[in-house]
Amino acid sequence: MSTALVTGATAGIGREFAEQLATQGVDLVLVARDEARLAAVAGEISGRHGVAVEVLPADLSDRAQLERVAERLRDAARPVDLLVNNAGYSLNSRFVDSAVEAEEQLLDVLVRAVLVLSHAAATAMVGRGSGQIINVSSVAGLSASGTYAAAKSYVTTFTESLSGQLAGTGVQVMALLPGYVRTEFHERAGIDKGERAGPFWLDAGDLVRQALADSERGRVVSVPSAQYKAIVAVARHLPRAIVRNPRITALHRKPD
C-alpha cells in the first residue's frame, strides 16, 4: 500500500487513521471541510513521519466538491490504494425538530458521499486488481435511533453487498462499526456523555489498529473490542420492539 485517502481527516477516527497509516510509510490524501485545520494537520503528519501528504479541502455535502474527491480517486496516474470513508456527524435532534435541509445534508455526507466515493475507488481498484475500502459505519446502525442510525444501517449493508460483489477482484471492502469513542464527535453534536469513562468508551488508537488489522485479514465487518462484539451479537437478535425503545433511540441525540 502506498497511498491512502481519508475523509474527515482532521480529528477523531479519521485523524487516527491518517497518523497510523503515516507511521507505516503510507502517503496520504486528506479530505475535510476546514482548509486551515487540514493544512495544519497535514504539516504535522508530514513533519513527524516523512510521508507525502496532499490536502483536498471539500464539503462532501456539496456535489461539485464531492466530485473533485471522486475524480482524485479515479486518477490513474496517482492511484489511491486505500479509501477510508470516515467523514460524518450527528444532528442530535428528533426528525420533526430538524430542518429538512439539515436532514438532506446529513444524508449527503453519511450516505451519498460514501456511495459516490466507494464507486470511484472501487472502479479504479478493480481495474488495477487491488485495493482496500474501509467505510466507517456504527453500532448505532443496529438501532432505530433516528436518521443517523438509518444512514449507518445503509453504510453497513451497502459495504457488505459491495464486498460480495467484488469477491475475487483483489479489492477488499470492510465496514467498521465503532461504538462510543473518545473523540470530538459527541461534543460537536452537543451530546453530553459525562466523563466518557468506562468499558464502553474506546480509544481511537486501539480502534484504528484493530480496523487496519481486520482489513488486512479480509474481514467484511470489523467490530472493535470484545464488549461491542457482544453487544452487536445480541442486538442482531433482539425483537424490534426493544430496538425501538426510547431509552435506546435517544442514545445518539438529546432526550425528548
Distance from chain centroid for Cα 69 = 15
So what CATH class is 3-250?
A: alpha beta
Per DSSP, 177 falls in state -
Which one of the listed residues 148, 154, 180, 228 is annotated catalytic?
A: 148
Q: Sign (positive/negative) of CA torsion 200, 204, 205, 209?
A: positive
Instruction: Respond yes or no: is residue 89 known to be catalytic.
Output: no
Find the length of the chain.
256
Say which residues have a Cβ less than 8 Å from residue 97's Cβ, sequence separation at least 6.
none
Render pLDDT for 107-157 as a digit per residue (tens, 0 to 9): 999 999 999 999 999 999 999 999 999 999 999 888 877 899 999 999 999
Give the strand pairing for 171-176 and 180-181.
unpaired
Instruction: Report d(CA 2, CA 22) in Å as an integer.
Output: 10
Higher pLDDT, 55 or 92: 55
Domain extent listing, the chain: 3-250
Which neighbouring-strand residues pair with 16?
A: none
Q: What percent of the chain has pLDDT over 70?
A: 87
Higher pLDDT, 104 or 226: 104
Query: Do 209 and 225 contact (CB within 8 A), yes or no?
Result: no
Q: How confident is the model at residue 189 (pLDDT cuts 50, 70, 90)?
A: very low
Which of these, 255, 145, 139, 245, lies nearest to 191 by C-alpha position? Answer: 255
User: What's the confidence (pLDDT) of residue 73?
Assistant: 98
| Rg (the chain; Cα; Å) | 18
Render pLDDT for 213-225 as a digit per residue (tens, 0 to 9): 999 999 999 998 7
